[in-house]
Structure 1
Amino acid sequence: MLMASNKDLDKTIPYKIKKADKFATRLKGLMFRKRPLDQEGLWIIPCNSIHMCFMNFPIDVVFISKNKKIVKLINNLQPWKFVAPVSDAYSVLELPVGVIEKFKLEVGQILDL
């Protein structure tokens, strides 16, 4: 499960988050996966930029600092797009399209992963 918080509000996102923290799992990510994410996500550690090569579906992307603060959000990132390195990012959370909007994620919130 994933929890997002700021000083005024805590909210839980009831999705299973898989960790990609080994070379092979970070390299593969979600490439070649045929079906879109569904109430699940992939947390890539360390990572400060991504590409959508060989992806078959769009995703929402959350860039996270070392202290787990959201530093950048990208809604509906399409296949074959690239995201340049985000200077303050230490890891990336890849989620189903619509999660950023549905759960009102914002830059500055702290994630509990």
Structure 2
Amino acid sequence: MTTFTVIGTSDPVPLEIARSARARRRGLLGRDGIEGALLLSPANAVHTLGMRFAVDVAYLDRTLRVIAVRTMRPGRIGLPRPRARHVLEAEAGMLERWGLRPGTRVAVRDA
């Protein structure tokens, strides 16, 4: 199982990683929710067209530092973030709960 943690905390969060182009295109489409988060890599933009629930989106740079965080309702198209190399998606409200905000870093670990 893959997890991520916010640097400076010890609580691991379940993580799915979408590495293939097909997995990144599908993202969270067709799901009613997610336990943990989904990491789209590489990616610098997302959309919520066809989504069933609102999501929190964190744009990460190449060192996994958070550049920006936003909540997107279904049916939205996000603008690309030029410095972003990865995008972390979770159910709305979860990123704040986990302490993710601009400037924080995450660590990904395979258990």
TM-score range, shorter chain: 0.7 to 0.9
- Where do 5+ consecutive residues of structure 2 fail to align? none
Match of 1:4 in 2: 6
Residue 72 of structure 2 is aligned to residue 87 of structure 1 = no
Scaled by the length of structure 2, what TM-score is found?
0.88
Shift of residue 45, structure 1, vs aligned partner: 0.5
5 Å-filtered alignment, 1:91-106, equals 91-106=86-101
Change (3 A) 1:13 1:59: farther
1:58 is displaced (CA, Å) by 0.6
Native 8 Å contact 1:63 1:73 kept in 2: yes
Q: Is contact 1:2–1:12 with CA below 8 Å preserved after alignment?
A: no
- In 2, Cα distance between the equivalents of 1:18 and 1:101? 19
- Rounded to whole Å, the distance in 2 between the matches of 1:66 and 1:21 is 15
Match of 2:33 among 29, 33, 36: 36
5+ residue gaps in structure 1?
A: none
| Distance in 1 of aligned mates of 2:60 and 2:90 | 13
Tell me if structure 1 keeps the 8 A contact 2:5–2:13: no
> Residue in 1 aligned with 2:25?
27
> Structure 1: which 4+ aligned runs deviate by more than 4 Å?
none
TM-score, L = length of structure 1: 0.86
Over aligned residue pairs, what C-alpha RMSD do you find?
A: 1.3
Is 1:110 matched with 2:105?
yes
In 2, Cα distance between equivalents of 1:13 and 1:21: 24
Instruction: Compute the displacement of 1:13 (Å).
Output: 4.3
